[in-house]
C-alpha cells in the first residue's frame, strides 16, 4: 500500500528511538554488533505496516461493507483455524483467498466447474461438488493445501493465497490484505495482526529488525550478483533484502519497485538510518521505474548486490544523483 499521504504529515517529525517496552529499536552507524545481536526478532508483515498507522482504517471501511453471510464465513475460517491450532496468518491467507475468489460466499457456480468459497474445482481433485460447496470441508481443504507449502509463513499472505489458488491474476489477493488483518484483529481478537508493533500517531518508529537484517547482509559480502538470485551463494539487489529481513521475521515484497511501494514506512531519504532501504529509478517521479535497491548503513554508505559481474559490497551514496528516489523505506513499521 502506498503511504505517501502519511509521509507528508510525518516528514517534519520523524523520530528514531529505542522503546523500552520492545515495540521498536533503531540502529545507527554507532551501534556495535553485540547490541545488534540483542534486537528482538519480530514476526512482521511490513506490507500491512503498523496497526493504527493507516492499515486499520482501510481494513475497517472494507469490513463494514460485509454482509452477514460473509461475516459468517470469516467466523468459520477463524474458528476452524483455531481448532486446528493454526496461527492467525493462516486465517488471514484464507480470508484473502475467499474474498478474492467468491466474496466469502459458498457459491454454487463459477468459472468452468469452480465452486464454493475458494472456487475449488472437482475436476482438479479438490473434492466432489457437494464437498467443495460445504464451508467446513472447503475451509479445511484450503488449510490442508496451505500447510503443504514450504514457505507459506515466510511470505506475504496474498502470495500464499496465490500459491494455493494458482490464479491467472496473482496480485489481486493483496487487495484484501488490510481487511483480512482487520477481521482477524476484531473477530479473532488478535491485537497486532501485522506483527510489526504499534505506531505512535504519525511518527515513524525505527525498525526492530534492522540489526538482524544488517548482520545477515554483511555476511554475504563478496558473494556474486545473479539476476533473480535468492542465495545462498548468489544474489540480486532485492533478493538479498528479502532474505535479510526474513531472517528478522519481517516480510517484504520480492522485487525492488514493490519494495518501494509496499515494503514499509516512508521517510525522507536524507534522514535514512541504518537498516532503511534506499532506491534508484529511471524516473524518480514514477515508482514503477525503480530498478535498484540497497540497504543504508549510515556514514553515507550502503550495502547492495550491484549488477552482473560484480559482488555484494559496500558503496558510498551520492545524495545528489538524479536517479536516487526522494524517500527511503523502513521495513517492519
- Paired sense of beta strands 290-298 and 301-304, if any: antiparallel
Distance CA 253, CA 198 (A): 21
What is the chain's mean pLDDT, rounded?
Answer: 81
User: At 44, is the pLDDT very low, low, confident or very high (cuts 50, 70, 90)?
Assistant: low
Distance CA 256, CA 143 (A): 31
Cβ neighbours for 268, distance < 8 A, ≥ 6 positions apart: 11, 14, 326, 327, 328
Which of 192 and 61 is assigned the larger pLDDT? Answer: 61
pLDDT at 46 over 90: no
3-state secondary structure of 13: helix
Q: Where are the domains of the chain?
A: 4-49+207-330, 56-186
pLDDT at 194 over 70: no
The H or E element containing residue 30 is none
User: At 45, is the pLDDT very low, low, confident or very high (cuts 50, 70, 90)?
Assistant: low
Which of 54-63, 122-131, 133-142, 258-267 is the least confident region? 54-63
Distance CA 280, CA 267 (A): 15
Which of 159 and 28 is assigned the larger pLDDT? Answer: 159
3-state secondary structure of 313: strand
Cα–Cα nearest to 149, from 159, 136, 137, 135: 159
pLDDT at 268 over 60: yes
User: At 34, is the pLDDT very low, low, confident or very high (cuts 50, 70, 90)?
Assistant: very low
Distance CA 55, CA 33 (A): 33
Cα–Cα nearest to 115, from 92, 135, 94: 135
The stretch 294-302 carries a mean pLDDT of: 91
3-state secondary structure of 265: strand
User: At 41, is the pLDDT very low, low, confident or very high (cuts 50, 70, 90)?
Assistant: very low
Which of 38 and 143 is assigned the larger pLDDT? Answer: 143
As given in the structure block, the three cell numbers for residue 86 are: 493454526
Distance CA 261, CA 276 (A): 14
Q: What is the pTM of this model?
A: 0.53
Distance CA 224, CA 240 (A): 11
User: At 191, is the pLDDT very low, low, confident or very high (cuts 50, 70, 90)?
Assistant: low
Q: 21: exposed, middle or buried (C-beta count within 10 Å: 0-12, 13-18, 19+)?
A: exposed
Distance CA 241, CA 255 (A): 10
pLDDT at position 332 is: 75
What dotted CATH number matches 4-49+207-330? 3.90.1720.10
Q: Which residue has the cell 506490507?
A: 47
Q: What are 237-262's pLDDT values in tens digits?
A: 999 999 999 988 888 999 999 999 98
C-alpha to C-alpha distances, 277 to 164, 240, 290, nearest whole angstrom: 30, 12, 12
| Helix axis angle, 88-102 to 135-147, nearest 10° | 120
Cα–Cα nearest to 181, from 250, 75, 88: 88
Amino acid at each position: 500500500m502506498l503511504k505517501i499521504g502519511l509521509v507528508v504529515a510525518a516528514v517534519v517529525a520523524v523520530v528514531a528511538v529505542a522503546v523500552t517496552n520492545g515495540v521498536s529499536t533503531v540502529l545507527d552507524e554507532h551501534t556495535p554488533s553485540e547490541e545488534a545481536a540483542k534486537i528482538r526478532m519480530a514476526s512482521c508483515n511490513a506490507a500491512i505496516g503498523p496497526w493504527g498507522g493507516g492499515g486499520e482504517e482501510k481494513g475497517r471501511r472494507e469490513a463494514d461493507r460485509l454482509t452477514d453471510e460473509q461475516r459468517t464465513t470469516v467466523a468459520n475460517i477463524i474458528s476452524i483455524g483455531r481448532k486446528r491450532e493454526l496461527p492467525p496468518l493462516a486465517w488471514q491467507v484464507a480470508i484473502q483467498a475467499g474474498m478474492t475468489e467468491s466474496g466469502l460466499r459458498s457459491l454454487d457456480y463459477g468459472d468452468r466447474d469452480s465452486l464454493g468459497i475458494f472456487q475449488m474445482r472437482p475436476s482438479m481433485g479438490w473434492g466432489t461438488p457437494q464437498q467443495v460447496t460445504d464451508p467446513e470441508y472447503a475451509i479445511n481443504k484450503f488449510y490442508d493445501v496451505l500447510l503443504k507449502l514450504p514457505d507459506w509463513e515466510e511470505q506475504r499472505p496474498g502470495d500464499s493465497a496465490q500459491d494455493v489458488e494458482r490464479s491467472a491474476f496473482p496480485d489481486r489477493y493483496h487487495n484484501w490484505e488490510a481487511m483480512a488483518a482487520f477481521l482477524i484483529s476484531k473477530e479473532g481478537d488478535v491485537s497486532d495482526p501485522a506483527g510489526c508493533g504499534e505506531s505512535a500517531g504519525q511518527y515513524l518508529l525505527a525498525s526492530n529488525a534492522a540489526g538482524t537484517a544488517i548482520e545477515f547482509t554483511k555476511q554475504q559480502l563478496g558473494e556474486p550478483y545473479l539476476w533473480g538470485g535468492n542465495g545462498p551463494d548468489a544474489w540480486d539487489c532485492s533478493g538479498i533484502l528479502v532474505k535479510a529481513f526474513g531472517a528478522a521475521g519481517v516480510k517484504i515484497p520480492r522485487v525492488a519497485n514493490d519494495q518501494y511501494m509496499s515494503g514499509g514506512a516512508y521517510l525522507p531519504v536524507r534522514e535514512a538510518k541504518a537498516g532503511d532501504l534506499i532506491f534508484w529509478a529511471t524516473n524518480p517521479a514514477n515508482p514503477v521505474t525503480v530498478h535498484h535497491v540497497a540497504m543504508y548503513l549510515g556514514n553515507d554508505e550502503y550495502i547492495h548486490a550491484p549488477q552482473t559481474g560484480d559482488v555484494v559490497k559496500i558503496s558510498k551514496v551520492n545524495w545528489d544523483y538524479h536517479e536516487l528516489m526522494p524517500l527511503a523505506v523502513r521495513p517492519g513499521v
